[in-house]
Amino acid sequence: MPVARKSQDSPRKRTKHQELPATPPAEADEQPVEQMTEEEKLLQVGDQLKQNLNNSQQQEGYDQDRRDLLQQEQTESWDRKSKLSASEVENRAAHIVWKIREHERDNLFGNLATEAVPDASTRDMGGQFLTNKERIDRESKLFEIVKHMPKGAHLHAHFNAELPVDELLERAKGMDTMFVRSIVPLLAPEDFNKTEIVFTVLPANHPEADLFSEDYKPDFKNTTNNPWMKWTNFQRIFSDRNGGTDATAWVRTKMILSEEEVYGTSQTVNGIWARFNQATRCFKGLLNYESTYRWYVKRAMENMVENGIMYAELRPMLMDKTIPSDDGLRQIDLEGQMTIIREVIAKFREELDSSTAFEGIKIIYCTPRSIPKAKMQSELEDCIRLRIKFPDLICGFDLVGAEDRPNPIGFYRDELLSFVKTCDKLGIEIPFMFHAGETLLDTGGTKDPENSNLYESVLLKAKRVGHGFALPKHPRLIEKFKQQNICVEICPVSNELLHLCRNVKEHPYPEILAAGIPCTINADNPALFGADMNHEFYQVMVGTPVMSVHGWRQLIEWSIEYSCLEDEKKLHGFKFFREQPVALDFPQTSVFTVSTKSEEVVKLSGEERDVEGQPNHRHKVLGNGAYFASKGILNTDG
């Protein structure tokens, strides 16, 4: 029988030592997972984790998804415009500012994320402002940067608390016509602690009361009683009875919120608001008389220029407001006050160097939200009349007062709608700049959350809203704010000190910004809170890691855009802000570390020096005269 020949394609018999080729995992004869027992699954856990650990396809997919996610968020970020238009110098400046901030977080404040209990000197960057203030003022290089940079426009500032109390008290110290009253006779130490002090100017021959007498009667409303004592006599007797203590130092404690008053364990929202209102009433009489009123307006503008502010909109309480002449013999009405402000602005701008970009100030007419409707109608009429006579000054209308007390804005619906219609008929524009959302309860001083003042801000088409702290509670209103292009005036320190949040890291401004709402940074009551615009810009930088020089720039540009400046002046402000060099010079003694894990050095004018840092690392130190900047924020030669 013939033997069949093997085809070339016929399978050959495997030798003893031949192995079957490895079967690809996808083709392996695997037991379906639903048929596996618990024990079989447990046996495979370790092997499966090892096999999947270095799955490059899976990792690449994840990394791409992550890049896409970050890109989407960055594309929609509120500061994207500033980032996209940033120059190389600006990006370098942003990087350095970031390094300084993070260096100070670890070293100046020292609250590191460890299990070690921190010592008594440790603080929390972005923690309680008044607790940190001295360290910020004296030691922070980040704060030094802030002090030298432009701030744009200041759009939320109350008129009475613009300047340091010491300057006001010094001007009143020897005045024969300055009088003072108390709400209780000043007999025992506890009386001095609990009393409220109010100043006013009266004729020099006005009868005097004795605040230090048991017979002193503080009542003055609807009575013939006289509660006023000459300030010069008060100072003398106070010093005699208190071991030579200066009365002005004591009054100063009545005008500024202290760390203990703000952060005391028994303090409440209503309690700190009451204390705040006491302080504002103390300020009122010390600045509202003719010579100091005139001086105050000029000094406030000087202070703005010194701090890089190019324009401001101030909010005086104008209801029934008159100010006395220095001799107390005549009263200056609202028109007289506006005339003084106009004259001082004109003279001040004439005296300015031509290279200084300062566009002056305007006035937002403010009245309390607690008055009867008939009185509100009268206030709205006064506002319109002032706007017609002083179109270069009056730029808006606001209702002020604690929002947890009556009335909600909607209480004045008819009066406010009539105001809008009247302005339209007269061809004038007085936008609303309502205080709204400056509250935790958010009920407009009622028990009903539907009375939130944020609703009326939308319905009455406000141009800007003051504070807006409660806005993140209202996702629908956020969309309305965006549609109507309503700007929010953020006041971080004010919101902390008045108990809306414990510190700036708990403030909702990052959420408001992330939602796409344009915002500005403001100091609210600088003298009373001990925080000016420098502190506010510092606080927003340390309050969230995502804030940067680019964010600063966007906030500043919004402050110009949403101001009540004329279009031509806005364009001038933008041009100056974007093009003028603003150098930051560190003094000879100023040396600070910029930590790096690599040998990265950003070349700056000024020398570079190496210092020993942590083990196995070198750090770069910016030395004598080094400065950096970014176009529109900080500028550098190289």
- Of 82-91, 508-517, 556-565, minimum mean pLDDT range: 82-91
Mean pLDDT of 443-468: 98
Strands (E), 479-566: 487-490, 519-521
Token code pair at residue 605: 């004018």
Query: What's the pTM?
Result: 0.88
| Cα distances (angstroms) measured from residue 429 to each of 231, 312, 424, 495 | 43, 18, 7, 30
So what's the pLDDT on residue 498? 99
Of 392, 417, 397, nearest in space to 319 by CA:
397
User: Cα–Cα distances in Å, from 254 out to 198, 234, 244, 432, 530?
Assistant: 10, 16, 19, 32, 13
Write the class of the CATH domain 143-168+275-579.
Answer: alpha beta
Query: Average pLDDT for residues 171-185, to the nearest whole number?
Result: 98
Main-chain dihedrals φ then ψ at residue 495, nearest 5 degrees: -65, -35
Q: What is the pLDDT of residue 623?
A: 27
Rounded distance, CA 232 to CA 247, Å?
10
Q: Considering only residues 287 and 590, tell me which one the structure prediction assigns the higher pLDDT.
A: 287
* Alpha carbon distance 216, 195 (integer Å): 13
**Backbone phi, psi, residue 65, to 5°:** -60, -40
Share of the chain above pLDDT 90, in %: 81
Q: What is the DSSP string of 449-469?
A: GGG-HHHHHHHTT-SEEEE-T
Max CA separation in the chain (angstroms): 151
- Kindly report the length of the chain: 638
Alpha-carbon distance values, 410 to 2, 68, 381, 449 (Å):
112, 45, 18, 12
Residue 51 DSSP SS3 = helix
**Encoded tokens for 336:** 């007289």
13-17, 23-27, 521-525, 580-584: segment of lowest average pLDDT? 580-584
Record the tokens describing residue 93, joined without a space. 């400046």
CA 334 distance to own-chain centroid = 30
pLDDT tens digit sequence for 243-282: 999 999 999 999 999 999 999 999 999 999 999 999 999 9
Neighbours of 503 (CB within 10 A): 20
pLDDT above 90: residue 25: no
d(C-alpha 167, C-alpha 474), whole Å: 43
Return the structure tokens found at 413. 């619906």
Q: How far is CA 144 from CA 128, 136, 191, 598, in A?
A: 20, 9, 41, 26
Closest CA to 433 of 467, 402, 410, 404: 467
- The pLDDT tens digits of the residues spanning 219-232 come to 988 788 999 999 99
Contacts of 7 (CB under 8 A, 6+ apart): none
Please indicate whether residue 179 or residue 9 has the higher confidence score (pLDDT). 179
H or E stretch at 179: strand 178-182
Domain boundaries, the chain: 143-168+275-579, 170-256
Q: State the pLDDT at residue 346.
A: 98
Kindly report the three-state secondary structure assignment for every residue of 208-237. Answer: CCCCCCCCCCCCCCCCCCCCCEEHHHHHHH
- Is pLDDT at 461 greater than 50 in this prediction? yes
Q: How many CB atoms lie within 10 A of CB 536?
A: 26
Rounded distance between C-alpha atoms, residue 334 and residue 84, angstroms = 47
* Mean pLDDT score, 53-79: 95
What does the pLDDT read at residue 607?
Answer: 34
What SS3 class is residue 298? helix
Q: Tokens in use for 16?
A: 């003893």
pLDDT, tens digit, 9 for 90 and up, residues 444-454 = 999 999 999 99
Residues 574 and 153: beta-carbon distance below 8 Å:
no
Average of pLDDT values for 523-527? Answer: 98
Quick one: which of 313, 229, 311, 361 has its CA closest to 573?
A: 311
Q: How confident is the model at residue 129 (pLDDT cuts 50, 70, 90)?
A: very high
How is 75-90 classified by DSSP, letter by letter? Answer: HT-TTHHHHHT--HHH
Element (H, E) at 612: strand 608-612
534 close to 526: Cβ distance less than 8 angstroms: no
579 — pLDDT class (breaks 50, 70, 90): confident
Looking at per-residue confidence, does 617 or 311 come out higher?
A: 311
Give the Cα separation of 221 and 401 in Å (integer).
Answer: 21
Token digits of residue 79: 């500061």
- Please tell me the predicted confidence (pLDDT) of residue 356: 87
Q: How confident is the model at residue 138 (pLDDT cuts 50, 70, 90)?
A: very high
What is the band of 399 on the pLDDT scale with cuts at 50, 70, 90? very high
Q: Is the pLDDT of residue 84 over 60?
A: yes
Predicted pLDDT of residue 221: 83
> What's the chain's average pLDDT?
89
Q: What is the pLDDT of residue 224?
A: 87
Residue 595 burial class via C-beta count within 10 angstroms: exposed 0-12, middle 13-18, buried 19 and up = middle
Name, in order, each residue with C-beta under 8 angstroms of 390's C-beta and a sequence gap of 6 or more.
Answer: 335, 338, 342, 363
Q: The tokens 């040396």 sit on which residue? A: 591
The predicted-structure confidence for 321-361, as pLDDT tens digits, reads as follows: 999 999 999 999 999 999 999 999 999 999 998 888 899 99
For residue 580, the model assigns a pLDDT of: 57
| Beta-sheet pairing, 464-467 with 487-490 | parallel
CA pair distance 195, 181, nearest whole angstrom: 10
150 neighbors 577 (Cβ within 8 angstroms)? yes
The backbone torsions φ and ψ at residue 236, rounded to the nearest 5 degrees and listed phi first, read: -65, -50
- Report phi then psi at 188, rounded to 5: -110, 165
End-to-end CA distance of the chain: 99
Q: Measure the CA–CA gap between 174 and 171, rounded to whole angstroms.
A: 8
Q: Could you tell me if 548 and 94 are in contact, meaning their C-beta atoms sit under 8 angstroms apart?
A: yes
pLDDT at 28: 53
Contact 161, 527 (CB under 8 A): yes
Q: Give the integer Cα–Cα distance in Å for 596 and 583.
A: 24
- At residue 156, the pLDDT reads 99
pLDDT at 9 over 60: no
Does residue 604 surpass a pLDDT of 50? Answer: no
pLDDT of 26 above 80: no
Encoded tokens for 238: 């106070």
